Protein backbone atom coordinates (compact mmCIF):
# COMPACT_ATOMS: atom_id res chain seq x y z
CA UNK A 1 0.00 0.00 0.00
CA UNK A 2 1.35 3.40 -0.96
CA UNK A 3 1.47 6.07 1.72
CA UNK A 4 -0.66 9.15 1.21
CA UNK A 5 1.06 12.42 2.04
CA UNK A 6 -1.38 14.67 3.85
CA UNK A 7 -1.05 17.82 5.87
CA UNK A 8 -2.99 20.88 6.91
CA UNK A 9 -4.08 23.24 4.17
CA UNK A 10 -5.58 26.65 3.67
CA UNK A 11 -9.41 26.55 3.82
CA UNK A 12 -9.72 27.03 0.05
CA UNK A 13 -7.61 23.97 -0.80
CA UNK A 14 -8.56 21.71 2.11
CA UNK A 15 -10.25 18.33 1.83
CA UNK A 16 -13.48 19.83 3.13
CA UNK A 17 -13.82 21.83 -0.10
CA UNK A 18 -12.70 18.99 -2.42
CA UNK A 19 -15.12 17.12 -4.70
CA UNK A 20 -13.71 13.78 -3.47
CA UNK A 21 -14.53 14.48 0.22
CA UNK A 22 -17.80 13.64 1.93
CA UNK A 23 -18.64 14.43 5.54
CA UNK A 24 -22.19 13.06 5.22
CA UNK A 25 -22.86 10.73 8.16
CA UNK A 26 -24.44 8.13 5.87
CA UNK A 27 -21.27 8.05 3.71
CA UNK A 28 -19.05 7.67 6.78
CA UNK A 29 -21.21 4.78 8.06
CA UNK A 30 -21.22 3.08 4.65
CA UNK A 31 -17.43 3.37 4.33
CA UNK A 32 -16.47 1.97 7.73
CA UNK A 33 -17.70 -1.57 8.26
CA UNK A 34 -19.03 -2.14 11.76
CA UNK A 35 -19.14 1.54 12.73
CA UNK A 36 -22.81 1.37 13.69
CA UNK A 37 -21.97 -1.39 16.19
CA UNK A 38 -19.64 1.03 18.00
CA UNK A 39 -21.76 4.15 17.61
CA UNK A 40 -22.86 6.19 14.66
CA UNK A 41 -21.62 8.33 11.80
CA UNK A 42 -23.88 11.04 13.26
CA UNK A 43 -21.68 11.30 16.37
CA UNK A 44 -20.70 14.76 17.63
CA UNK A 45 -17.12 13.61 18.31
CA UNK A 46 -16.65 13.07 14.57
CA UNK A 47 -16.89 16.85 14.10
CA UNK A 48 -16.45 17.55 10.38
CA UNK A 49 -14.27 14.54 9.59
CA UNK A 50 -15.24 12.59 6.53
CA UNK A 51 -14.29 10.15 3.81
CA UNK A 52 -12.01 10.83 0.86
CA UNK A 53 -13.64 8.81 -1.92
CA UNK A 54 -10.53 9.07 -4.08
CA UNK A 55 -8.13 7.61 -1.51
CA UNK A 56 -10.71 5.66 0.54
CA UNK A 57 -9.55 7.27 3.80
CA UNK A 58 -11.18 8.77 6.86
CA UNK A 59 -9.69 12.17 7.64
CA UNK A 60 -10.27 15.72 8.81
CA UNK A 61 -11.70 18.32 6.48
CA UNK A 62 -8.60 20.44 7.22
CA UNK A 63 -6.18 18.04 5.50
CA UNK A 64 -5.12 18.19 1.86
CA UNK A 65 -3.32 16.18 -0.81
CA UNK A 66 -2.10 16.62 -4.38
CA UNK A 67 -5.37 15.24 -5.80
CA UNK A 68 -7.42 18.25 -4.61
CA UNK A 69 -10.21 19.14 -7.03
CA UNK A 70 -12.63 21.94 -6.11
CA UNK A 71 -16.30 21.12 -5.89
CA UNK A 72 -18.46 22.31 -8.74
CA UNK A 73 -20.51 25.40 -7.86
CA UNK A 74 -24.13 24.70 -6.95
CA UNK A 75 -26.60 26.07 -9.49
The per-residue pLDDT for 38 is: 66
How far does Cα 19 stand from its chain's mean position?
A: 10
The per-residue pLDDT for 20 is: 96
Q: What is the pTM of this model?
A: 0.72
CA distance 49 to 34: 17
50-71 per-position pLDDT tens digit: 999 999 999 999 998 989 999 8
Beta-strand pair 21-22/63-64: unpaired
Model confidence band, residue 9 (pLDDT cutoffs 50, 70, 90)? low
SS (H, E, C) 49-62: CEEECCCCEEECCC
Which sign, positive or negative, has the C-alpha torsion 61, 62, 68, 74? Answer: positive
Q: What percent of the chain has pLDDT over 70?
A: 69
The per-residue pLDDT for 33 is: 78
Domain coordinates of the chain in residue numbers?
7-64
Amino acid sequence: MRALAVGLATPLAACGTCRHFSAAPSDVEASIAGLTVLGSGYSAVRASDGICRRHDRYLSEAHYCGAFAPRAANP
